[in-house]
Amino acid sequence: MDNWETLKNQCLNCTDCPLCQTRTNVVFGAGNPEAEVLFIGEGPGEQEDLTGEAFVGRAGKLLDDMLAIIDLDRTNIFIANIVKCRPPKNRDPLNTEQEACIKWLRKQTALIRPKIIVCLGRVAAMRIISPDFKISVDHGSWYESNGVKMMALYHPAALLRDPRRRPETFLDLKELERMIKKICIHTYS
Ligand code: SF4
C-alpha cells in the first residue's frame, strides 16, 4: 500500500512532541496492515525503543502467547501504540504527548479500517474507548463506535506483574475469538 509506506516514513521522522528527544527509534507498529483486528497498546518500552519493533521482550512474548490461545498471530492482526516513542523510564505518556501522537494512530486506523479494536491496558482504553474506563471492571466488555467493535484486555505487562488476572484474560480472549468468528471474514480463513 503506497499510502501506508508514505505514512510510515512520515511517522518515522516525526518530531512533534518532546519524546523525539529521548527516543532511539520510532515504533510504528507490527503485523498486517490489512488486518480486521487492530490491537492498541500504550507506548514503546525499552526493548521496543532499542529495536524499533512493537511488543518485543517479555510482554511481547506473552502477547504472542495470548494471541496463540485464539489462533491469532502477527500475520492476521496489526499492533500499534497510542504514542510511537518511548516515554522515559516507561512512565505513562502525558496527555500532551498522546494528543500530539494520536494523529498517527488515527491515520493508521483509517487505512486499516479494522472491524474490531482491542485496547491493551488502561491508558489505551481510556484514550480509545472512554476517559472513564476502569480496566479492572470494564475489561472484556464490548463497546461500539462508528460501527467498530471495541474491547480492552489487561496489558501483557500487567499480567506479568499480576498473574492472578490471567484466568479473566483467558475468558476475554475467548469472547474476542467469538466476536471475530461472528463479524470478521478473513481473519480465520
Ligand atoms: S511520540 Fe508521536 S508525536 Fe511524539 S515525536 Fe514520537 S511520533 Fe511524534
With a Cβ cut-off of 6 Å, ligand 1 is lined by 11, 14-17, 19-20, 26, 83-85, 97, 100-101, 104
Read off the pLDDT of residues 87-138 as tens digits, 9 standing for 90 and up: 999 999 999 999 999 999 999 999 999 999 999 999 999 999 999 999 999 9
The alpha carbon of 20 and the centre of ligand 1 are apart by a number of angstroms equal to: 6
Residue 7 lies in a domain: yes
Cα distance from N-terminal residue to C-terminal residue, the chain: 22
Read off the pLDDT of residues 75-84 as tens digits, 9 standing for 90 and up: 999 999 999 9
Residue 189 lies in a domain: no
Residue 187 lies in a domain: no
The alpha carbon of 137 and the centre of ligand 1 are apart by a number of angstroms equal to: 30
Range of the domain at 40: 2-182
Tell me which residue has its CA closest to atom 6 in ligand 1. Answer: 85
Tell me which residue has its CA closest to atom 2 in ligand 1. Answer: 101
Q: Per residue, what are the HEC states of 28-63? A: CCEECCCCCEEEEECCCCHHHHHHCCCCCHHHHHHH
Q: Which CATH number goes with the domain that contains 157?
A: 3.40.470.10
Residues 6+ apart with CB under 8 A from 7: 104, 107, 108, 111
Reading the block at residue 119, the C-alpha cell is 485496547
Tell me which residue has its CA closest to atom 3 in ligand 1. Answer: 101
User: What pLDDT does residue 39 have?
Assistant: 98
Residue 2 pLDDT grade (very low, low, confident, very high; cuts 50, 70, 90): low
At residue 158, does pLDDT exceed 90? yes
Task: For ligand 1, pick from 83, 99, 123 the residue to mutate: most ligand atoms within 8 Å of CB.
Answer: 83
Q: Give the ligand 1 atom nearest the CA of 11.
A: 7
Query: What's the mean pLDDT in 144-162?
Result: 97
At residue 189, does pLDDT exceed 90? no
Read off the pLDDT of residues 4-56 as tens digits, 9 standing for 90 and up: 999 999 999 999 999 999 999 999 999 999 999 999 999 999 999 999 999 99
Residue 30 lies in a domain: yes
The alpha carbon of 47 and the centre of ligand 1 are apart by a number of angstroms equal to: 17
Quick one: DSSP state of residue 82? S
Residue 102 lies in a domain: yes
At residue 1, does pLDDT exceed 70? no
The alpha carbon of 104 and the centre of ligand 1 are apart by a number of angstroms equal to: 9
Q: How many domains does the chain have?
A: 1
pTM for the complete prediction?
0.97
User: What pLDDT does residue 163 have?
Assistant: 96
User: What pLDDT does residue 84 have?
Assistant: 98
Q: Give the ligand 1 atom nearest the CA of 17.
A: 4
